[in-house]
Amino acid sequence: MTFTSSHSDLKQINRLAVINLIKKQPSLSRADIAKHTGLTKSTIGKIVQELIDEHWLQEDDAPTLLEGAGRRPTGLTLDDRTLTLLGAEIGVDFITVIACSITGEVRFHSSLPYQHNQLESSLDQLADLLAHVWRMMHSMNHRVLGLGISVPGMVNMPDEHVVVLPNLSWQNFNLIEMMRSRFSMQQLPTFPIMIVNDANAAALSEFVFGRSQFNRNPLVHITVGVGVGAGITSENGLYRGTNGWAGEIGHSVLQPINGLPCACGQYGCVETLVSQRALSRALNPDNSALLSVEHMQRRLAQGDVAVKAGLDEVGYYLGIVLRNVANYLNPESIVIGGPMSQFEDALMKPAIASFQAHSKGNLILPNIRLCEFGQQASSLGAAAAILLKHLEPNGIPVHFSHQGLLRK
């Protein structure tokens, strides 16, 4: 559907479309951009110059010579020198903050343990760290475009109100306003803040900065930590569902008979069988204390057969989850991330074996791999959400046809 709008809206949409196009296809020339967008060369020339002046774009190094045809037209790429995105992850027992460029280059990273018993004091700790990072970026003359925060639970759309974080026992609060009040006390300027589910954020890290960047084919990122969740991306970006709760696979019932109790109140959920807590319970059945992934990794490295057996069982059930996801969504790729992904082959081998055992008769199977951003995926993806907020007006992706700009 071709769109109509005011002159100022059209100008902004055209600017965002040019940035979006260059991100997807680096080194296009001004003439190439005009062909893709259907805008005149004069209009593109003005837009490109504005974006260069504002540090969104930069010209390639000196144009190369083409044999017998003069100079190659100057290409354009995103300028990753000054514009900065902030991303934060609130985990079950840690908080992580990063600052990155608009191309995903990480400029700052810090992960700290915290006690999640008190919501207010936990947010104070997060705000202090973010204020420190903002001032650091400001001192380097970097302009912060905004802050994305990933959380391990359900985030309502469109107001981004946190509904429930079951593994933290936090529910029904406005995280954006709570952070704004803390930033105001720190005398920081107002900038955009977004709240994203942690699995959705991890999927965005792959979609915006990863090897499958802006891939039109469906990708599912499964985050396995204390909880389990999935983020789903396709050509239209992140799929959130009606209320923003799509991908809550951790609370799908996998063992309805004699299932263990889950933090959500149900019995036999995926999280009770495929999670850090599930492995910890297998190793410490008489103790409810959660063992850290690092502790369990050390035991595995020392040849602890109990850890190996526990991972085989967790991997078996993870394989069933992968099979179900493949059946429901038919994705091109399924990516595994989160703290449990640090076990790598010790988890992935039994998971893939189980997946294959439950896939007899299926000729086309998805590519299954580990997340390329490791434990930075959710914080990096939260930052990516801010970039998409700038690139896609009103959250609607800008596309192109041979006739020019279109909005879906």
pLDDT at 389: 86
Distance CA 264, CA 23 (A): 40
Is 12 a member of any domain? yes
Is 205 a member of any domain? no
Distance CA 312, CA 328 (A): 24
Same domain? 96 vs 172: yes
Same domain? 306 vs 332: yes
Is 157 a member of any domain? yes
pLDDT at 373: 95
Same domain? 193 vs 139: yes
Same domain? 196 vs 218: no
Looking up residue 151, the CATH number of its domain turns out to be 3.30.420.40
What is the helix (H) or strand (E) element at residue 282, kind and residue range?
helix 276-283
**Residue 17 sits in which domain range?**
7-64+71-79
Same domain? 361 vs 217: yes
The separation between CA 147 and the C-alpha centre of its own chain, rounded to angstroms, equals 13
Looking up residue 28, the CATH number of its domain turns out to be 1.10.10.10
Same domain? 260 vs 354: yes
| pLDDT less than 50: residues of the chain | 1-5, 65, 396, 398-408
- Number of folded domains in the chain? 3
Structural tokens at position 75: 């290409």
Same domain? 244 vs 352: yes
Same domain? 172 vs 53: no
Same domain? 279 vs 351: yes
| Domain final position from 47, 79, 111 | 79
Same domain? 161 vs 237: no
| Domain final position from 50, 79, 108 | 79
Same domain? 36 vs 132: no
φ and ψ at residue 280, rounded to 5 degrees: -60, -40
Is 400 a member of any domain? no
The separation between CA 262 and the C-alpha centre of its own chain, rounded to angstroms, equals 25
Is 295 a member of any domain? yes
Distance CA 264, CA 250 (A): 10
Is 329 a member of any domain? yes
pLDDT at 359: 87
Query: What 3-state DSSP class applies to 173?
Result: strand
| Type of residue found at 336 | I
Distance CA 163, CA 155 (A): 6
71-99 pLDDT per residue, tens: 678 899 988 889 999 999 999 889 999 99
**pTM here?**
0.86
Is 337 a member of any domain? yes
Is 403 a member of any domain? no
Same domain? 22 vs 94: no
196: number of Cβ within 10 Å = 29
